[in-house]
Chains A and B, each alone.
Chain A
Amino acid sequence: MSRRARALMLLAPLLLFLGLAYIVPFLGVIRWSVTLPQPGLGQYRAALTDPLVQSVFLRTLRVCVAVTAASVLAGYVIALLWVRGGPVQKLLVELCILIPFWISVLTRAFGWLALLSNRGIINDWLQWAGILHEPLAMVRNEFGVIVGMTHFLIPFAVFPLASSMRNLDERVLMAARGMGASRARIFWRVLVPMTLPGILGAALVVFVFALGFFVTPAILGGGRSVMAAELIYLRIFQSPDWGLGAAISVIMMVAVGGMLALLLRQARPGGGR
């Protein structure tokens, strides 16, 4: 027993560290949300009724749904080639997933600025070719935010999708093929239904990530299309209203916790590995 007790001691340092550096401070954030500027639930009422905060929540929801749909669709085709393609295709796709994945989010957001801004590459070309006379606004709006976030989140969609495709028995596909089903029919009637748990898992992961995401929207939204995460930053550092910032954080944590509980329940009955 004492031998086991000593092994249990190994658990203590990390749990203590996270307890002191994360859990206790989070309780402090909760305290802020109910005491600043005055005690009570006023900040929560404000967060849920204030028209400005509501419009930010609505925009966050809209952008997150669009980003999730785009990332899962794009992730699905590329994961399919990664898992079932020929050796050369596999290698190329793997590089296209891994290289952006390892590059800093700032560099990637900057790349989109270089492409999409008024003096950027795409506007430059379109004007040079005479298609446009005025630059087309593609950043500092929701479009830029959606493009940048989708780019960031595609790899996070690819990993769960690829794992669910790897678990699929290839003989099922061969059987469908042998019975004369067309490629499109196999895709829609066999592949998609059989990888549905992976699709739902990927969608949830991407949605949760998108919700708390802050850097890409701040850069590509240019302060115009503020999302919930950026609103927290602004409420803490620019128009000091710590109570409201803390209340939005707590609401976001609860929402994400609920979605993760959903993910766990969905993953438990034989979902994936």
Chain B
Amino acid sequence: MNATRPGPVVALLAALVSVFLLMPLIAVIPVSFTPTRYLSVPTDEWSLRHYRTLIDNPAWAQGVWLSIRIGVLSSFIATSLALFFSLGLWMAQPRHAGLMMGMALLPMVAPPVVSALTLYFFLISLSQVNGVVAYDTWAGVSLAHAVMTAPFAVVLITVALAQVDRRIDLAARSAGAGLFTRIFRVILPNIRFGVLTAAFLTFVLSWEEIGVTLFITSVRAITLPRLMWMGLRDNIDPAIAAVSVVLIVLVVVVILGKTAVQMLLARRRKEH
């Protein structure tokens, strides 16, 4: 085992890459405490004014709330459509499965900017016939995010289904179970974890989506990333640093927590 471990050269290079990967995340921290109104590194005075802005300026809370609503709705649409689709492929095994899969994954592999322009076209066309699901509305953004995230849900649920033993479905079928029973009583309990992961991932992808959102919103549907973008483009606002620190802390806590739980479970399994 030890003979094939990477040597010191690889370890050193990998350490450098790791530093490169973490560097911008760490750099945000001091900048968020600057007392000035422009991007700078605090020297003698540290200030919490940019964190106070996040609380005092209602735009931030509104952005967070809007992003949560869009994330939940788009995750629900994307996950349920992907679930039905993956179940259909798994159960019926149709002849053109590859082609249909290709179509379902199209928004994931197409260049993001092309998808953005396509969804812009889609929503301004819808705007001509209604005002609810339209350009620059939260329902319209949710629909567009569902298009972008559904392929990821399809991949995760298909992978989960590939691990289900087909014979349990066969047994249920020959015992006379209908389609509804087979799906909800037999298959779903076996892919529960995959479906939940898909719902979570599609929520996160929508929560931080910016490329498409830029094309399909202007003044009303200002999601959190859209608000950050506006603070980044012209005059760099250090409040972005404060938001970024909050988001980084959130991600680090979740990932470290998950790793710790996994290690604990692994140790407990080893003891038994």
Contact = CB atoms under 8 A, between A and B. Distances in A.
Interface of A: 3-4, 6-15, 17-19, 21-26, 28-29, 32, 74, 77-78, 80-81, 84-86, 89, 91-100, 102-115, 117, 119-121, 124, 151, 154, 170, 173-174, 177-178, 183-184, 187, 208, 211-215, 218-219, 229, 232-233, 236-237, 245-246, 249, 252-253, 256, 260
Contacts of A29: 114, 117-118, 121
Contact of B232 (A84, A103, A113): A113
A25 B118 contact: yes
B55 interface: no
Contacts of A107: 25, 28, 228, 243-244, 247-248
> Which bucket holds chain B's interface residue count?
35 or more
22 contacts: A6-B179, A7-B88, A11-B100, A13-B84, A22-B115, A25-B125, A26-B114, A28-B118, A77-B14, A84-B6, A94-B259, A111-B24, A114-B24, A121-B30, A151-B20, A208-B109, A212-B111, A212-B112, A215-B211, A215-B229, A256-B109, A256-B111
B85 A15 contact: yes
A135 B241 CA distance: 22
Given A108-B25, A115-B23, A95 B255 contact: yes
Given A7-B88, A14-B82, A249-B114, A174 B3 contact: yes
B14 A99 contact: no
Contacts of A117: 39, 236
Contacts of B247: 103-104, 107
Contacts of A256: 109-111, 114
Given A77-B10, A183-B9, A102 B255 contact: yes
Contacts of B251: 99, 102-103
Given A21-B119, A107-B247, A253-B111, A214 B27 contact: no
A18 B106 contact: yes
Contacts of B28: 107, 110-111, 114
Nearest to B111: A212
Contacts of B154: 14
A4 B92 contact: yes
Contact of A11 (B4, B85, B147, B252): B85
Taking chain A's interface residues, is the majority helix, strand, or loop, or is none over half, making it mixed?
helix
Contacts, number: 279
A219 B225 CA distance: 13
Given A25-B121, A173-B3, A253-B114, 17 more contacts: A7-B87, A13-B84, A32-B121, A80-B14, A85-B5, A96-B22, A100-B21, A104-B247, A105-B210, A107-B243, A110-B241, A114-B24, A151-B21, A177-B3, A212-B113, A212-B114, A229-B112
Contact of A106 (B121, B210, B254): B210
Among A32, A89, A100, A112, max chain B CB count under 10 A is at A100
Interface in B109-166: 109-122, 125, 143-144, 146-147, 150, 154
Contacts of A121: 27, 30-31, 41
Among A14, A28, A109, A232, max chain B CB count under 10 A is at A14
B229 A106 contact: yes
B143 A114 contact: no
Contacts of A12: 88
Nearest to B148: A22
Contacts of B88: 7-12
Contact of A170 (B4, B179, B243): B4
B63 interface: no
A251 to B, nearest CB: 10
Interface in B1-41: 3-7, 9-11, 13-14, 17-18, 20-28, 30-31, 38-41
A252 B92 CA distance: 35
Nearest to B87: A10
Nearest to A211: B111
B189 interface: no
Contacts of A252: 111, 113-114
A111 B232 contact: no
B174 to A, nearest CB: 12
B51 interface: no
Contacts of A237: 215
A219 B231 CA distance: 11
Contacts of B59: none
B175 to A, nearest CB: 14
